[in-house]
């Protein structure tokens, strides 16, 4: 049996070596741990506003407001005698609309100390990550403004404009319910077809819709409800057999989106049926989001401010749109 002693000749106990070995093993495990190069990132909902509305950046960065003019013809031909002097006259009505432009901002901050510490983590560029977070926040701000407007500024969005006509879904589901979850495929398709044709009625056949936005629950019902005795869903049928496609030969855009499940006047689901065209509805963004130069706010602290200038959603021709309420 061997006896181990420290430098002073004192015998070392077995417990010392057990503890020492445990520390060594812990150190070895930390040294061989694999550190992934890719940093896990939390996912967020898709930014949809560029796909559901036209964005106009032509006004110039520092425009205070957006003004546009319109013309409307008036007058009606009628019977007239060659001896009379009361000829019916045509004329034009000119009108002006103005919309304010507001500024919003989001930035980020870093210190030299935390940048140095972040450099020790593989795959992490702290300033780039924070810049991307600020840019994402600006996109979410516009996306929310497009969808529902902003109560603080007193503006509405694509989903809640008071000038857009409203049609309630037919109460022909189970128990006289308008909810698509209680309806057959034929009844769901009929609701959409009626909304598409109602836009023609409201505009005296001038306007038509090419886009249908739906609450998530309504989209699920549309996709899951089958045409009787076929493998075809109501969604598949509607995409091929709808008023717009049959008239113009182009596909009808049908999409689900957030903020519609409680958008109706009663707090239920609302479908938005409209023509996605800049002449119908648009939003001005005179200054898309951009960063300003780095601003040193302390001995080791730096701020990078960012800003954007935006208007609100403009319905130029609201009769080309319709809200279909009560579907979910």
Domains in the chain: ranges and CATH: 38-66+104-328 (3.90.1690)
pLDDT tens across the length of the chain (328 residues): 444 444 454 444 444 444 455 555 454 445 555 555 555 678 888 899 999 999 999 988 898 888 877 777 788 888 888 788 888 888 888 867 788 899 999 999 988 888 777 777 666 677 788 889 999 999 999 999 999 999 999 999 999 999 999 999 999 999 999 999 999 999 999 999 999 999 999 998 899 999 999 999 999 999 999 998 889 999 999 999 999 999 999 999 999 999 999 999 899 999 999 999 999 999 999 999 999 998 889 998 889 999 999 999 999 999 999 999 999 9
- Whole-number Å distance between alpha carbons of 283 and 100: 11
Distance CA 184, CA 99 (A): 44
Distance from C-alpha of 23 to C-alpha of 282, rounded to nearest angstrom: 66
pTM greater than 0.75 (yes/no): yes
Q: What angle do CA 269, 271, 275 make, to 5 degrees?
A: 160
Distance CA 320, CA 83 (A): 44
Q: pLDDT (tens digit, 9 = 90+) per residue, 65-118? A: 888 777 777 888 888 887 888 888 888 888 677 888 999 999 999 888 887 777
Neighbouring residues of 176: CB distance < 8 A, sequence distance ≥ 6: none
Residue the block writes with tokens 């509805």: 281
Report the alpha-carbon distance of residue 209 to residue 274 in Å, rounded.
Answer: 5
Give whole-number Cα distances, 253 to 108, 133, 210, 218, in Å: 38, 31, 6, 15
Angle formed at CA 215 by CA 190 and CA 284, multiple of 5 degrees: 110
């Amino acid at each position: 049996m061997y006896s181990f002693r420290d430098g002073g000749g004192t015998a070392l106990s077995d417990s010392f070596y057990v503890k020492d070995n445990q520390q060594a093993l812990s150190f070895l495990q930390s040294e061989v741990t694999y550190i992934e190069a890719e940093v896990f990132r939390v996912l967020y909902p898709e930014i949809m506003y560029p796909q559901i509305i036209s964005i106009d950046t032509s006004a110039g960065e520092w425009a205070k407001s957006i003004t546009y003019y319109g013309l409307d013809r008036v007058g009606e031909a009628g019977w007239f005698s060659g001896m009379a002097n009361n000829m019916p006259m045509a004329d034009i009505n000119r009108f002006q609309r103005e919309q304010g432009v507001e500024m919003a901002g989001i930035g980020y901050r870093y210190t030299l100390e935390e940048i140095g510490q972040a450099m020790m983590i593989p795959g992490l560029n702290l300033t780039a990550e924070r810049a991307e977070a600020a840019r994402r926040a600006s996109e979410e701000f516009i996306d929310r403004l497009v969808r529902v407007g902003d109560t603080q500024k007193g503006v509405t969005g694509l989903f809640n404009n008071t000038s857009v006509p409203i049609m309630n879904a037919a109460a022909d589901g189970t128990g006289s319910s308008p909810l698509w979850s209680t309806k057959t495929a034929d009844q769901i398709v009929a609701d959409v077809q009626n909304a598409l044709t109602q836009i023609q009625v409201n505009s005296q056949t001038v306007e038509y819709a090419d886009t249908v936005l739906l609450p998530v629950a309504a989209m699920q019902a549309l996709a899951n409800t089958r045409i009787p005795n076929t493998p075809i869903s109501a969604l598949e049928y509607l995409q091929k057999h709808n008023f717009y496609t049959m008239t113009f030969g182009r596909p009808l855009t049908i999409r689900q989106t957030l903020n519609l499940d409680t958008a109706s006047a009663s707090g239920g689901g609302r479908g938005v049926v409209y023509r996605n065209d800049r002449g119908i509805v648009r939003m001005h963004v005179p200054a898309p989001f951009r960063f300003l130069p780095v601003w040193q706010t302390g001995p080791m602290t730096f701020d990078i401010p960012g800003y954007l200038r935006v208007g609100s959603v403009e319905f130029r021709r609201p009769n080309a749109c319709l809200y279909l309420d009560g579907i979910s």
